[in-house]
A and B are shown apart, each in its own frame.
Chain A
């Protein structure tokens, strides 16, 4: 379980948000909504431990704390091939996956045929898929995704949806940031709405979408 306690963040001299307390359970998908500049990415980075919050704390319980982060940055080395990229991240994380296993993961994201091509020749969507392959390789307990469907076509979005459901199935805690809810987005169990420097909604997804419908202001 991932738990935030009174987290606040100040960027330069501007407060981004304050007093954010929430939890995301294992085996669930939490959707973090909010407009541009609401601080979704920052909150995800704080959850990942990449940014120190100005105050407050982030806690993990009942997990090994293995974090997968899929954000706007793909972490892809353009001059390495797809397979070499995966091999590097495997070694850096100290994992024991074999070469065949990594090829299988590349196959899952539809990059098997391009395994030995340099990632620099990939389109944005393909790089994003390679990035997804990196996250799949880690089998993280906490999966933080920042608008992961940017630049993905319908087939890739379906793939992402399938993989996220699978991650939820094996008990991972998935947090997904986005502007709104697309039809083919992964089904969220819980919704967090970040608005005007605080949490405007924190509850089950079912009651978020039921009337009063005005709440879905940022769809």
Chain B
């Protein structure tokens, strides 16, 4: 299973980063969001830390939907999906490989969104960084575990891609709240309760949806049209 996971990961990264327009669309959309929100600031003002963190996670969420649409579309060109199903390794390897690829791509995109948020929305990283990094990884993991599971929804239905967002966004609410809560602290919002509760929530989310992905993916990713 591990070998197939790595094979899928390597292939997806090669195809996305080296052989296509790659992250361009996802990056542009996210950057546009940050920019549009920057217009809501009056001269000399800057968005509150909480707002800025929310915008950052909103960009990430949109970006993630595009990433998973793209990753699962790779298998649609010549029905390679069927080839993957015929492989002897458990099909969950595809879910895991694409989830890891998703985390890597999302982190790359966030390397752009974070400076953009700081610059356009007038923030600085004044708060504690360690919980912020932790929540970044926890949230990305949860988003990608769920994104990789639901990305398979669009299988064989390339025209229905917009659907993924409608189904995925409300499900991600707890994670996005956690990300925003700690993100606001990282941008200097004081909070007496500290990051503990949010970190716990994000970790619980990750555990539940990693397990759900492992259990449910095989149902979704099948040969049926």
Contacts and interface: CB of A to CB of B under 8 A. Distances in A.
Interface of A: 45, 48-52, 66-67, 69, 71, 73-80, 84, 88-89, 91-94, 118, 127, 134
9 contacts: A48-B86, A49-B86, A50-B85, A73-B79, A77-B77, A80-B11, A91-B10, A92-B84, A94-B88
B32 interface: no
Contacts of A92: 3-4, 7-8, 83-84, 87, 89
B6 A50 contact: no
- Please provide the 8 A-B residue pairs with the shortest distance between their CB atoms, ordered closest to farther: A50-B223, A73-B79, A91-B7, A75-B83, A79-B19, A75-B80, A92-B7, A74-B78
A165 to B, nearest CB: 23
B78 A75 contact: yes
Nearest to A134: B83
B78 A76 contact: yes
A21 to B, nearest CB: 22
Interface of A is mostly: loop
A91 B3 contact: yes
Contacts of A89: 83
Contacts of B11: 77, 80, 84, 88
| Max chain A C-beta neighbours (<10 A), residue from B8, B74, B84, B87 | B87
Contact of B223 (A45, A75, A134): A45
Interface residues of B, number: 27
Contact of A73 (B7, B78, B87): B78
B138 to A, nearest CB: 30
Contacts of A91: 3-4, 6-7, 10
A51 B86 CA distance: 11
B40 interface: no
Nearest to A72: B79
Interface string B151-172: 0000000000000000000000
Interface string B1-43: 0011011101100110001100000000000000000000000
| Max chain B C-beta neighbours (<10 A), residue from A49, A66, A74, A77 | A77
| Max chain A C-beta neighbours (<10 A), residue from B11, B74, B86 | B86
A150 to B, nearest CB: 14
Contacts of B211: none
B86 A69 contact: yes
A25 B32 CA distance: 61
Contacts of A71: 82
Interface of B: 3-4, 6-8, 10-11, 14-15, 19-20, 74, 77-80, 82-89, 222-224
Contacts of B78: 73-78, 127
Contact of B3 (A67, A74, A94, A134): A94
A69 B77 contact: no
B148 to A, nearest CB: 17
B84 A69 contact: no
Given A75-B80, A91-B6, A50 B86 contact: yes
Contacts of A79: 15, 19-20
Contacts of A74: 78-79
A49 B6 CA distance: 24
A144 to B, nearest CB: 10
A79 B82 CA distance: 18
| Max chain A C-beta neighbours (<10 A), residue from B10, B11, B14, B74 | B11
A77 B224 contact: no
B80 A77 contact: yes
Given A51-B224, A52-B224, A91-B3, A80 B84 contact: no
A51 B223 CA distance: 6
A50 B7 contact: no
Contacts of B74: 77
Given A49-B223, A71-B82, 19 more contacts: A45-B223, A50-B86, A50-B223, A51-B224, A66-B88, A74-B78, A75-B78, A75-B82, A76-B80, A77-B74, A78-B78, A80-B19, A88-B11, A91-B3, A91-B7, A92-B4, A92-B83, A92-B84, A93-B4
Contact of B4 (A69, A75, A80, A94): A94
